[in-house]
Amino acid sequence: MEKVVLIVGGNLGNRLALIEEVTLLLSKTLGNPLSFSSIYETEAWGGISSGNYLNQVLVYETNDKPEFILKSILGIEDKLGRERKVKWGDRNMDIDILYYGSKLINKEDLTIPHPFIQDRRFVLVPLNDVLPDYVHPILLKSHSELLDLCKDQSQVSVYLKLNPGI
């Protein structure tokens, strides 16, 4: 079994209801999460967006291959009506694989660990909820260390406090 770490979020529609729905849809493929972060409201990063995002990190344990997980999450995004018009633009739901255990994968359609983890507060803050001491397999720093070093100054605040316990 491998731990797979996902981040889910969006800035369109009923953002909280969409996170709840995506968690239910993910449970059909990956089961219930081992742990999850609080839900954070965050400023847009890297693109042109019309509003703040809600984001949450979810941790699962699975025997599924990363390529199968990617295909599944793309299907969930499609089912929820995700449109890919502008890179880093508005979206109702985005699901990214952050980690698949400590495996390193570099394919045209899949890079694990996600290449921007260390650059994004909206990723590091919820990661720090659930895996503060986890060491990034390339950067060899924990999430709490990466958060301290992160140059991104965008606003990340608790939207819904959840108990991230296992």
**Tokens linked to 128:** 């720090």
Q: Tell whether the model's pLDDT for residue 88 goes beyond 80.
A: no
Q: Tell whether the model's pLDDT for residue 90 goes beyond 80.
A: no
Catalytic residue among 15, 64, 78, 82: 82
DSSP 8-state secondary structure symbol assigned to residue 142: B
Catalytic residue among 94, 120, 121, 129: 94
pLDDT of residue 164: 60
Q: Which fold has domain 2-160?
A: Alpha-Beta Plaits (3.30.70)
Specify whether 82 is catalytic: yes
Specify whether 152 is catalytic: no
Q: Is the pTM of this model over 0.95?
A: no
Q: Tell whether the model's pLDDT for residue 94 goes beyond 50.
A: yes
Specify whether 121 is catalytic: no
Contacts (Cβ under 8 Å, ≥6 apart) of 56 = 7, 8, 9, 19, 23, 36, 37, 38, 39, 40, 126
The arithmetic mean of pLDDT across residues 136-153, rounded, is: 96
User: In this structure, are strands 35-36 and 53-62 parallel, antiparallel, or unpaired?
Assistant: antiparallel
Catalytic residue among 91, 120, 121, 129: 91
pLDDT of residue 166: 47
In the chain, domain spans: 2-160
Q: Tell whether the model's pLDDT for residue 47 goes beyond 80.
A: no
Specify whether 91 is catalytic: yes
**Distance, CA of 34 to CA of 166 (rounded, Å):** 5
The arithmetic mean of pLDDT across residues 22-29, rounded, is: 95
**Distance, CA of 119 to CA of 45 (rounded, Å):** 10
Mean pLDDT of the chain: 91
Whether 49 and 124 have beta carbons less than 8 Å apart is answered as no
